[in-house]
Amino acid sequence: MRGQTAQQRPGEVPQESPEALYRRVRACRICRDSPAGRPLPIEPNPILAISSTARLVVAGQAPGNLADKTTKPFNDPSGVRLRDWMGIGPEVFYDPTKLAIVPMGFCFPGYDAKGGDLPPRKECRAAWHDEVMRAMPQVELILAIGLYAQAFHIEGGRRSLTETVADWRAILQRGGRYAPVLPLPHPSWRNNAWLKRHPFFEAELVPALRQRVAALV
């Protein structure tokens, strides 16, 4: 893990290790104590996984209710589907030395009036995301799940989810804010209809996704 190296110059501040940064993020309570709008309606529980060796990042929206209760991201049927898309099991998915998990909001944001998850908190992205991604320069691929992650990691403006995912080859080729990006829809059951309407995803993108994941983990 990174820390002070033999090449560090006199007076230079040692670069913080991902492990130390992880501990700072886990202690964050900004959405409760200094919120942008209404405070988080529950006790903050930042959930992420970072390391100095992971070459693959899963960048989703925000932890769900079950993830919040267990402090384990994608600990639900959506996670099962995502791991199937990626062609890996839980032992690889939850190994931070191989795979980092950096959602756009680190805490479960609560529910909206219709029972769906609220958007990820804006405080996380402003306070942490650039710092977290800079702490992992070894990353070679980012899986941007959903529009919030895609808007942050893919440079060039916002488009619809369908337009973005359909353009995955060009997006992957031109790179992203911190590393090449592969855009994905959210693996939630709510997207079953989208998956049926767009068979190219499972026919073309998923095989390419599995190939790249296998090469990185």
**What is the tens place of the pLDDT at every residue in 31-87?**
999 999 999 989 999 999 999 999 999 999 999 999 999 999 999 999 999 999 999
* Average pLDDT score over the chain: 91
Q: Secondary structure of the chain: what % helix, strand, coil (to 5)?
A: 40, 10, 50
Give the C-alpha separation, 27 to 12, whole Å. 26
The tens digit of pLDDT for each residue in 56-72 reads: 999 999 999 999 999 99
pLDDT score for 15? 73
How would you classify the pairing of strands 181-184 and 141-145?
Answer: parallel
- Write down the pTM of the prediction: 0.90
Q: Is 5 a member of any domain? A: no
Q: Is 9 a member of any domain? A: no
Give the C-alpha separation, 93 to 83, whole Å. 7
Q: Is 13 a member of any domain? A: no
Give the C-alpha separation, 178 to 74, whole Å. 23
State which residues form the domain around 211: 18-216
Banded pLDDT at 156 (limits 50, 70, 90): confident
Q: Is 64 a member of any domain? A: yes
CB 132 within 8 A of CB 178: no
Give the C-alpha separation, 61 to 29, whole Å. 18
Q: Is 7 a member of any domain? A: no
Q: Is 175 a member of any domain? A: yes
- Domains held by the chain: number: 1
Look up the CATH number of the domain holding residue 63: 3.40.470.10
Q: Is 207 a member of any domain? A: yes
* Token couple for 180: 């090449």
Q: Is 190 a member of any domain? A: yes
Phi-psi region at 84: left, alpha or beta (left = phi > 0; alpha = psi -120 to 50) = alpha
